[in-house]
């Protein structure tokens, strides 16, 4: 896996020749610094080959005036320098966004393209970029977030038998949960009855807790198939049965609270080797004065692979998804809403090359959500 380290932006964005004034439209220093940070964030998500192609494409992009080859060679060797060069050369944020869009289109990075298309539309309308930013640091009451002031409770189950690297997954999950301020209950190598007993006990503890519960997170790491996880003895446990234990009927303590499930298990036996480069009518009138909730709401479920496909785990470094979660969190912390966080994790997984029995294999995470608000840890 490619590990990318963050950079300190302090003091590097105000490099101008003596007497040169800030170009019109460049915005205040804080806006320039934010734009630099966003450009660098995009560059950090490019592979070395994509980064090389980025520099080549930048020379011919039809946005006047073009960056000259000598400036690219002199100032754009590092990612930090390239980001600084873009911000300084295309001093208007809208122009910088348009350049990023044109280059990313040619690189076929649709996952990065949307954010810059949104940014360009925002800059063109003269709306402050802060409105679109989803970092918790800039919420300022604009986003409706879950209140996580209550206890954060987690349940971690892992089957280690015939799963080399599982011990690493346990370590990384416990480390991540600690950083996100979760108290966790551990369940290692259970059989079917032991798991059901322990997870019910965990659920009952939430319902009986005298303290307010802010969030619940359940991590299940084992072998599996579509709709099921497998215990140490091969017995199968239905994921739907587990999800149902925490619905609004069976776990009232979690009504309108986020219920997050991280499933690290195969969902079938298919392998993706990769490729080379109707709605029911409804009535909306309020016919009841009593407020109601759907039975299943405020869930967020993350799977390590598509339905019917295998998941990937390395015998030394552990599961691909768990390792990527750990790396992304170490790099960016709790900056994002959980869906954005796992989008970043998925970006890393999708653009990393893996091999199984000397054959190339690709995986993509799958998210399912009935969340009604944003989740920031």
Which residue in the list 180, 266, 309, 337 is annotated as catalytic?
A: 266
Rounded to whole angstroms, the Cα distance separating 78 from 40 reads 10
For residue 366, give the nearest of 307, 298, 291, 294 by alpha carbon: 307
DSSP string of 197-233?
A: HHHHHHHHHHHH-SSPEEEEEEEEESEEETTEEE-TT
Rounded to whole angstroms, the Cα distance separating 206 from 212 reads 9
Which residue in the list 89, 223, 309, 337 is annotated as catalytic?
A: 223
The first and second tokens of residue 367, run together, are 């998210």
Q: Which residues of 248-267 are buried (b: 16+ CB within 10 A; e: fewer)?
A: beebebbeebbbbbbbbbbb
**266 flagged as catalytic:** yes
**223 flagged as catalytic:** yes
Residue written as token pair 């590990």: 3
Cβ-contact 1, 327 below 8 angstroms: yes
For residue 260, give the nearest of 159, 182, 324, 192 by alpha carbon: 182
- Residues annotated as catalytic are 223, 266
């Amino acid at each position: 896996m490619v590990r990318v380290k963050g950079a300190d932006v302090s003091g590097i964005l105000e490099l101008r020749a003596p007497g040169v004034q800030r170009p019109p439209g460049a915005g205040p220093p804080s806006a320039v610094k934010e734009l630099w940070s966003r450009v660098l964030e995009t560059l950090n998500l490019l592979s070395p080959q994509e980064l090389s192609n980025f520099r080549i494409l930048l020379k011919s992009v039809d946005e006047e005036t073009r960056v000259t080859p000598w400036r690219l060679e002199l100032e754009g060797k590092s990612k930090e320098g390239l980001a600084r060069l873009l911000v300084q050369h295309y001093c208007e944020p809208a122009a910088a966004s348009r350049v990023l869009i044109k280059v990313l289109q040619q690189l076929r990075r649709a996952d990065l393209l949307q954010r810059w298309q949104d940014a360009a539309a925002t800059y063109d309308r003269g709306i402050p970029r802060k409105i679109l930013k989803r970092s918790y640091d800039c919420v300022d009451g604009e986003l409706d977030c879950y209140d996580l002031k209550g206890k954060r409770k987690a349940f971690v189950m892992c089957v280690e038998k015939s799963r080399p690297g599982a011990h690493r997954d346990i370590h990384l999950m416990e480390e991540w949960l600690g950083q996100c301020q979760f108290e966790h209950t551990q369940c290692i190598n259970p059989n079917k009855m032991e798991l059901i007993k322990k997870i019910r006990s965990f659920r009952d503890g939430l319902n009986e807790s005298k303290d307010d519960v802010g969030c619940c997170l359940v991590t299940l790491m084992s072998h599996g198939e579509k709709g099921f996880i497998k215990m140490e003895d091969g017995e199968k446990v239905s994921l739907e049965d587990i999800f149902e234990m925490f619905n609004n009927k069976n776990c009232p303590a979690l009504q309108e609270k986020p219920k997050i499930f991280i499933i690290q298990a195969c969902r079938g036996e298919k392998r993706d080797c990769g490729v080379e480069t109707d709605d029911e009518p409804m009535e909306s009138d309020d016919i009841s004065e009593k407020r109601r909730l759907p039975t299943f709401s405020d869930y967020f479920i993350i799977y390590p692979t598509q339905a019917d496909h295998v998941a990937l785990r390395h015998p030394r470094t552990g599961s691909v998804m768990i390792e990527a979660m750990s790396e992304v969190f170490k790099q960016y912390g709790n900056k994002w809403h959980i869906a954005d966080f796992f989008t970043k994790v998925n970006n890393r997984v999708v653009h990393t090359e893996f091999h199984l029995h000397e054959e190339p294999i690709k995986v993509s995470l799958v998210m399912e959500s009935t969340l009604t608000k944003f989740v920031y840890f």
